[in-house]
Amino acid sequence: MGIFQAIRSALSGLNVTQTLPVDSVLIDVRSPGEFSQGHIEGSANCPVGDIANRIAAVCSDKSANIIVFCASGGRSSAARNVLISMGYAHVFNGGGVAGLARQLNKRLV
C-alpha cells in the first residue's frame, strides 16, 4: 500500500480493498447554498458545523451505515470524526460529491 492510499484509508474509514456500503444514509456536509446548487439524490444536508446538533434528526441509529461527503473530502473527514466521537459506529468519508455520485451510480439533482 502506498502512502497516499494509506492516508485515504485512514481518513475515509475504509480499507483500500473495501467499497462503500450501498445501504448507507447519505449526508452532504456542505453549506445549504452548495447543497442547493446540486446534491446526490436522496442525500440529506447537514453542514459540518451543525452535524453534532442535527445528526439525530437525520439518523438516530448509531449502528447505521453513514456516508458523509462534501466538495473534496476535507469537511467530510471532520464530520466523520465528530460522528465517531458521538458513538456512530459505521461512518465513512465518501470524499467529494461528484466522485461519490459516480461511485454510487446516483444522479446529482
- The string of DSSP codes covering 66-103 is EEEEESSSHHHHHHHHHHHHTT-SEEEEEEEHHHHHHH
Helix/strand/coil for 64: coil
Alpha-carbon distances, residue 67 vs 1, 2, 27, 50, 98 (angstroms): 23, 24, 6, 16, 14
Annotated catalytic residue within 48, 66, 67, 70: 70
46 is catalytic: no
Three-class DSSP category at 14? coil
Q: How far apart are CA 55 and CA 57, in angstroms?
A: 5
- The set of catalytic residues is 70
